[in-house]
Structure 1
Amino acid sequence: MGINNGKKVTVLMSTYNGERYLRQQIETILKQQGIQVQLLVRDDGSTDRTLSILNEYQDNTQLHYYSGPNLKTARSFMQLIFDSPKSDYYAFSDQDDVWNKNKINRAISLLEENDHSIPMLYAGNFKMTDKDLNPISGGQHFTTQKFANAIVYSCCTGCTMVMNKKLRDILRIHPIPKHLLMHDDWIHKVCLAIGGKVVFDSKPMMFYRQHGNNVDGGIHTINDKIQKVWNEKHQHSRIMSSQLSDLLKLYGEQMPKVNRELLQHALDFGKGSLVERMRLAFDPTYEIHENRNLNHEFRISLLMNYW
């Protein structure tokens, strides 16, 4: 991979009661090689020593932080996008992981192999670990790269993501959607919907720490998905189709015709009769072939009239 010395990268981090692992992650970000890095942190209402730790770095010109009301993870990260300074690239970071020193440099090198004029998003692999960074099984080994697949499931882990300025600027054109599952899910969908490109890197460049307090861990079995659908049916009915309706409303005019039609078809059949919902559930156009288990949540949701 090349050295991107001239590239400015802003890393966006939302913190909340992250005192245990925060300092270690900050250090791995500030020591990224081959780029000019700055870290922008938005604290989402911490009540532990997180702010004290951030204060320790306030004299470091690479780090800037501010506090805000508790928006929860997804909206806090989206707010960071609106508050971010001008840079060539933007990366997202959790408060408790550990990065390889060349993580961002590698991501930029892969992105720059593509057309610079379009929105682009990098997503990478990772090594799953326990709280002490001991390897454990599990992890993501691909990212959905077609819009039809993203309608079903945006398989894109936020803490690995890096986007170009083009995508960041587009995300700032419209307000944060009313229906928002997670920031990474939304950013991934927007990128593909408007004709952008998602680049996946199979080489793990970070330790993805699992410690019981993660907002969303990386292990998703079919039983996990069934339980998730069952729980969310009672809490957020039709959250998936509502978010996609927001996507169409906000970005429909920027979408290629084929993507608008794919999205409109899914929305129409998703709220149709049982027969129509089942036709959508097993439509090969939308099926994710890399990991067929990811289709199950979609099918269960449609069967239960939750999607």
Structure 2
Amino acid sequence: MTNSTPIVQVLLSTWNGERWLSDLLASLERQTFTDWQLLVRDDGSQDKTLKILLEWQKTHPKWVTDIISASSIGSTASFDQLVRKSQAPYLMFCDQDDIWFPEKIELQVEALRQLEQQYGSAKPLLVHTDLVVVNEHKQVLSPSFWDYRGFDLKQRKQAYLLNNNVTGCATVFNRRAAQLAFPLPTEAMQHDRWLALVCAWFGHIGVLAQPTILYRQHNHNVIGAKRSLEWGDIHKRIDLWSRQAATFLRCFSTQLAQEDYELLQALAHLQYLRGWERRRHIVQHRLFKQGVLENLALLLFS
């Protein structure tokens, strides 16, 4: 690897991750693709996380471009800052508690290059893969996160307004996607969700139907592999979807077709409605999620 900007920058946000970091860092060492560097932001850890990272930087200087230690702002804002600091053509999000398969970077970079050959690098492009769900002791809970969650991987771009099947730590995306999706607007629900929404509407999302990661589940996951939303969360989630749609509309209104503009406007208006008025609006504009049970919950608890 040269001292120039690598092809891939792996963006790692850490917080009190001393228990998990050794497994992650060992898996990064085993990557078959070598033209990458790690860009780290520690989100105010109180344990030995920063010490572990600095020691690893000393023994692996070619693989660490920077380690930023700062106050806690949460994972979404932390990843936002990492994207804004990055310079590489291709970017990958990385979680401290996962374990990457040796071929992860190589497979995803090749798939992204194929997308760029097909659509051009001026389009925001993203490739994501499946994940193996494991517990904190690395015992397999499900060989496929996609099956575990029942994701529809062929969903239309409009579905990304309510349904996200892209997991940040399983993605690679190009420079144009980073430029268009970041900095994150305040009302973006999560960094990966907003990124997927932007790529789905203005570029392309590639699906690599094989796991490239052990997706570890434990009591401290920020999001994790929940099978579905808790029904009691629906009311709050609708407001979040609606505010995010309003922000998307504000950011990209001049680039939208009339039909898409009207759909986003309808979803953005939901935050101001309650009770039967909200339910009527959902049905009228067909603002539905995937699955019968989730839509039942949407109408019962909205």
2:263–2:285 contact (8 Å) kept in structure 1: no
Tell me if 1:186 matches 2:194: yes
Structure 2 counterpart of 1:17: 16
Structure 1 counterpart of 2:167: 157
- Report the CA distance shift for 1:46/1:178 in structure 2 as closer, same or farther (over 3 A): same
1:139 is matched with which residue: 134, 145, 148?
145
Post-superposition shift, 1:181? Answer: 2.1
1:140–1:218 contact (8 Å) kept in structure 2: no
Task: Provide TM-score, normalisation by structure 1.
Answer: 0.83
Unaligned runs of 5+ in 1: 1-5
CA distance in 1, matches of 2:94, 2:250: 29
- Report the CA distance shift for 1:202/1:44 in structure 2 as closer, same or farther (over 3 A): same
Question: In percent, how many aligned pairs have the same letter?
Answer: 28
Q: What is the one-letter code of the residue matched to 1:190?
A: V
**What's the secondary structure of 1:176's corresponding residue?**
coil
1:124–1:200 contact (8 Å) kept in structure 2: yes
Deviates more, 1:87-96 or 1:112-121: 112-121
Instruction: String of CA shifts for 1:92-145, please: whole Å, max 9, x gaps.
Output: 111011111111211122222221231111111011111121111372244464
1:75 is matched with which residue: 66, 77, 102?
77
Tell me if 1:202 matches 2:209: yes
Post-superposition shift, 1:239? Answer: 2.1
Structure 2 counterpart of 1:218: 225
CA distance in 2, matches of 1:281, 1:19: 48
- Report the CA distance shift for 1:147/1:237 in structure 2 as closer, same or farther (over 3 A): closer
1:131–1:211 contact (8 Å) kept in structure 2: yes
Unaligned runs of 5+ in 2: none
Q: What is the one-letter code of the residue matched to 1:178?
A: T
Post-superposition shift, 1:65? Answer: 1.0
Tell me if 1:168 matches 2:178: yes
CA distance in 1, matches of 2:234, 2:194: 19
2:245–2:265 contact (8 Å) kept in structure 1: no
- Report the CA distance shift for 1:15/1:45 in structure 2 as closer, same or farther (over 3 A): same
CA distance in 1, matches of 2:188, 2:161: 14
1:42–1:80 contact (8 Å) kept in structure 2: yes
Post-superposition shift, 1:272? Answer: 5.0
CA distance in 2, matches of 1:11, 1:75: 16
Task: Say which structure is richer in helix.
Answer: 2
CA distance in 2, matches of 1:302, 1:238: 14
2:238–2:270 contact (8 Å) kept in structure 1: no
CA distance in 2, matches of 1:130, 1:40: 27
- Report the CA distance shift for 1:62/1:281 in structure 2 as closer, same or farther (over 3 A): farther
Tell me if 1:123 matches 2:123: no
Structure 1 counterpart of 2:242: 241
Post-superposition shift, 1:176? Answer: 2.6
Task: Provide TM-score, normalisation by structure 2.
Answer: 0.84
Tell me if 1:45 matches 2:44: yes
Post-superposition shift, 1:88? Answer: 1.9
Structure 2 counterpart of 1:3: none
1:271–1:277 contact (8 Å) kept in structure 2: no
Post-superposition shift, 1:147? Answer: 2.1
Aligned length: 285
- Report the CA distance shift for 1:133/1:267 in structure 2 as closer, same or farther (over 3 A): same
Post-superposition shift, 1:225? Answer: 2.4
Deviates more, 1:21-30 or 1:199-208: 21-30
- Report the CA distance shift for 1:237/1:265 in structure 2 as closer, same or farther (over 3 A): closer
**What's the secondary structure of 1:199's corresponding residue?**
strand
Aligned-residue Cα RMSD (Å) equals 2.6
